[in-house]
Structure 1
Amino acid sequence: MRDFLPAEKNRRERVLAVIRERYRAHGFDEIETPVMEEYGRLHSGIGGDNEKLAFNVLKRGLDSEAIAAAADDLSALTDLGLRYDLTVPLARFYATNRGRLPSVFRSIQIAPVWRAERPQKGRYRQFVQCDIDIIGDASARAEAELAVATLDALDALGLEGGSIRINDRRALEWMLDSFGFSVEERPSVLITIDKLDKLGYEGVVAEMRARGVTATAVDAFEAFGLRPMTMEYHPYGERQIRKALPDGAPDDIVAHLVGIGTAVAATRLAQSEIGDLPLVFDPFLVRGMGYYTGTIFELAHPSVAYSLGGGGRYDGMIGGFLGQDVPAVGFSLGFERLVDLLDAGHDAASPAIVLVHDRDVPIGELLALKTALIGEGSRVRLEERTKNLKALLERAASDGYAAFATVVAGATRDQLEIKSLD
């Protein structure tokens, strides 16, 4: 968990403002949920490995005897926990407020979450998630809307050229079944396949053999990966998807994936070919969350080797609260990673000026000048002149201020000479 100095906090808020603005432009509405949820919801088996990282809250009023008696039963000791993601709270929120929401609900959630991670570079115990979700739409349009809004937000942040890798958990399960992996083996096999970027195909095959899973299934997986391939390029669409899967892939799954591309293509009016789309079908994209039931995706950018976000369809989660399934799909931006990629810069929409004044300038004059500049749309800080003016201005620049003016007694607004700090 981290402190943020003014310049870093300013940068984070500017990035958040851009993301919010673009998501709202695409018809999503922001909601807010409590930082804590009931223990049973957070540990219902839908959160995958994140459930093991939850910070749990001890029940109030327990004495030492009660604590000792329940030491081996965490659920008897705790009744609440800090949220480890925003999807479980959203499912509870929708189930609670469904009668007051539209039939197709498009939500924005931007808020901190907490996980008991082992502290290391890029992994924090408190971090911000930026989620958009569509609840109530089972069609490919929902995934397409999420993709278009996410890529638009990335472009607005100055990170043009992003793309989205797409797969479907149903296609992945079908493929493992066609190779011959048993249902019991598949969770561990998926964990190994998820290491494909790090281990390579041969490394994944070697780890599968070391795990002792069905040998004939591993042979089939290896043969599929080493099958002869032509160098021809297939744009995103049915041909690319079927070429990337074993023969006989289910038509309904392929049609849904193709429908996403068709819908995204309709938003890019200047492009006539689906191949121009920033979409790539990846049959070995896994994503580890256990609640995904269909489409899954990850956001990629050529400047980095890691993903900048991801998500998927979780049609079964809300049914656990309502007693009936409701289609749902979401996408989460990796906010902390995005912030690290972006330059600090200045907030061009709100000029930031430091007024450096002599000690003898009356406070009334200073506040009058400050008020006049604020009225013009500027952000203003008062600083008394020091012997080391250079250090004062460097600190102001590091805090996000872009200009300064010196103030002497009797100065008027028209007499101020505003100079750049660059």
Structure 2
Amino acid sequence: MANKISAVRGMRDFLPFQKRKRERVLQIIREVYQKHAFTEIETPVVEDYDILHSGLGGDNEKLSFSILKRGISDKPYTTEKLKAAELCDLGLRFDLTVPLARYYASNQAALPQVFRAVQIGPVWRAERPQQGRYRQFVQADIDIIGEFSMLAELELITATAAALNRLGLRDCVIRINDRRVLLSLLKHCGFNADDFNRVLITIDKLDKIGFAGVIEELVANEFAASAVAKLEPFLSGVAALPAGIPLTVAAIAEVMPEEVQNDALAELAELGDSLVSILPNGVTAEFDPTLVRGMGYYTGTIFEISHPGSGSSVGGGGRYDGMIGRFLGEQVPAVGFSIGFERIIDLVELPEDSAQEQKIALIADKDCAAPQQLVKLKSELLALGKQPHIVWRKKNMKPVFAYLAAEGFTEFANVNSALAAAELNIKTFETV
């Protein structure tokens, strides 16, 4: 018995109807972003190893696929332990944000002072394959570089919400927080500054392991007992809330300790007030004081979009003002928002394109129709606005018709005795 041949674990083949849907969804996303004045760019799928492992990618750096230096496989390294950095000089990109930062640093002179970018493409991570987690997947990012003000957040959030709304994803909730708020909260509780990132990683698991699980992990990691005790009632109160917290001054003040009332919270309330009048119907914004976002490069506002049809966020991003400065030696403000393309693709139900309604299958017997005659007929039908597809007749046509129907064909014609468009007796699959 032959071995089963399949794609690499964590990577997928897409059948024609799946590929068609994916491209249509990406086309809609692109159209919306272009209308919002974002310009599409492209970066290589490969970046220098040192850039991918410069501390900008957080835990994703551990999941990157590295590429051996040319010719290194011919050398006898089996008896000597070497670090990956000594063996590799390149790697596959694990997100689109780090490549964008490098891209901006490389091309700054040719770009406008405030640069609005769209970047859509595959990324690779050495994940443990499971439902919803792949080793190759598509990201759809928009970023604004060079804008210090809240205008950047407002443009990104409204453009992303518009794209999801155009795709028919209603009832989206934008959860918003600020890294400065989180750090102020941890400082207020008494955590050591060196432990902030580790504490945030645990808090980020609140929706997965629950309030009790978070406290248990904080205790197990031996953080200061007094700090954990001070954080516990805050997390307990937030976890017990029956609904989201409105992004208003009063609602924020009610849930946050007085000692954490700072400028960042005031800016969040201002952001919430601005979003009320500009978000599409069915999209709301909420304050989530436990929202962390896993990437350590965020410096300010962070946000995620949830949808009732998905168990995970369908979009997320934030401000990362310090990243590009690592390459240029000067601070450059930047904010980004990424749509979780692989998470929304199964939620989207696209209407049939009008073009698909014009698809017609030409059923021919090999003994009765010459190839040149069929191509001539195909050309006539193309000129009439049809999308013809030549199919050789088989003994059992049911699987053929099933495949054509899945591909969006609604009509067919037997062409053995009618080799002119005007002579075709066109039928629908319903009559089969």
In the superposition, the TM-score normalised over structure 2's length comes to 0.89
Whole-angstrom CA distance in 2 between matches of 1:168 and 1:382:
58
2: CA distance, partners of 1:82 / 1:227? 42
CA contact 1:91–1:318 (8 Å) conserved in 2: yes
Say whether residues 1:166 and 2:176 are aligned partners.
yes
Map 1:92-241 onto structure 2 (within 5 A).
92-226=102-236, 235-241=246-252
Letter of the structure 2 residue corresponding to residue 316 of structure 1 = G
Is residue 366 of structure 1 aligned with residue 374 of structure 2? yes
Instruction: Determine which of 267, 271, 285 is the counterpart of 2:278.
Output: 267
Within 5 A, what are the aligned runs for 1:288-367?
Answer: 288-343=294-349, 346-350=352-356, 351-359=358-366, 360-367=368-375
How far is the alpha carbon of 1:343 from its aligned partner? 4.2
Q: Which amino acid aligns with 1:139?
A: S
Aligned to 1:184, the other structure's residue is in SS state: helix
Q: Which moved more, 1:11-20 or 1:321-330?
A: 11-20
Please report how far the alpha carbon of residue 295 of structure 1 lies from its aligned counterpart in structure 2 after TM superposition. 0.9
* 1:343-384 Cα shifts (integer Å, max 9, x gaps): 476433444322222331343342233223323444331112
SS at match of 2:321: coil
Question: Quick check: 221-230 or 106-115, which moved more?
Answer: 221-230
3-state SS, counterpart of residue 27 of structure 2: helix
Does the Cα contact within 8 Å between 2:64 and 2:92 map onto a contact in 1? yes
Is the deviation greater in 343-352 or in 279-288? 343-352
Deviations for 1:389-421, whole angstroms, at most 9, x for unmatched residues?
222110112233343333232343234344444
Once structures 1 and 2 are overlaid, which stretch shifts more, 203-212 or 5-14? 203-212
Alignment match, 1:413: 421
Superposition deviation, residue 67 in structure 1 = 3.9
What secondary structure sits across from 2:59 in the alignment? helix
How many Å apart are 1:176 and its aligned residue? 1.1
Task: Say whether 1:287 aligns with 2:293.
Answer: yes
State the Cα deviation string for residues 228-253 of structure 1 (Å, max 9, x = none): 99989963222222223221434421
Report which stretch shifted further, 201-210 or 35-44.
Answer: 201-210
Tell me, yes or no, if structure 1 residue 16 matches structure 2 residue 20. no
Change (3 A) 1:230 1:110: closer
Report the residue type matching 2:94 in the other structure.
Y
Q: Select 1:392's aligned residue among 396, 400, 405.
A: 400
- Structure 2 gap ranges (5+): 1-10
- Structure 1 CA distance, aligned partners of 2:216 and 2:173? 30
1:26-83 CA distances to partner (integer Å, 9 max, x unpaired)?
1111100011111110000111111111111111133755746874222121111111
The percentage of counterpart residues that share the same residue type is: 50
Whether the 8 Å CA contact 1:244–1:282 is kept in 2: the answer is no
Q: 1:395 & 1:231 partners in 2: Cα distance?
A: 48
> 2:3 aligns to what?
none
Aligned partners of 1:166 and 1:377: how far apart in 2? Answer: 48
Change (3 A) 1:231 1:282: closer
- Partner residue of 1:254? 265
Contact 2:188 2:259 in 1 (8 A): no
Change (3 A) 1:372 1:239: farther
Distance 1:132 1:160, change over 3 A: same
Distance 1:96 1:219 in 2: 47
CA–CA distance in 2 between the matches of 1:382 and 1:277? 46
Q: 1:18 to 1:336 in 2, by over 3 A?
A: same
AA at the equivalent of 1:236: L
Quick one: which of 362, 381, 385 aligns to 2:389? 381
Taking the aligned partners of 1:39 and 1:152, their CA distance within structure 2 comes to 36
| Counterpart for residue 4 of structure 2 | none
- Could you say if the C-alpha distance between residues 290 and 17 of structure 1 is closer, same or farther in structure 2, counting changes exceeding 3 Å? same
The one-letter code sitting in structure 2 at the alignment partner of 1:105 is F
For residue 206 of structure 2, what is the amino acid of its counterpart? L
* 1:315-346 superposed Cα distances (whole Å, 9 cap, x missing partner): 00000111101010111111111122234764
Gaps of 5+ in 1: none
Q: Give yes or no for contact 2:245–2:286 (8 Å, CA) kept in 1.
A: no
Shift of 1:114: 1.0
* Contact 2:171/2:283, CA 8 A, preserved across alignment: no
Contact 2:253 2:261 (C-alpha < 8 Å) held by counterparts: no
User: How many angstroms does 1:257 deviate by?
Assistant: 1.5
Indicate conservation of the 8 Å contact 1:59/1:78, yes or no.
yes
Checking the alignment, whether the CA contact within 8 Å between 2:48 and 2:89 is kept in structure 1 is yes
Assess if the C-alpha contact under 8 Å between 1:86 and 1:129 holds in 2: yes
Residues 157, 391 of structure 1: alpha-carbon distance in 2 compared, 3 angstrom cutoff: same
* DSSP 3-state at the match of 2:174: strand
Taking the aligned partners of 1:70 and 1:329, their CA distance within structure 2 comes to 44
Greater shift, 221-230 or 163-172, is seen at 221-230
Superposed CA offset, 1:93-119 (max 9, x none): 111111111111111111111111122
Confirm whether residue 401 of structure 1 aligns to residue 409 of structure 2.
yes
3-state SS of the aligned residue for 1:91? helix
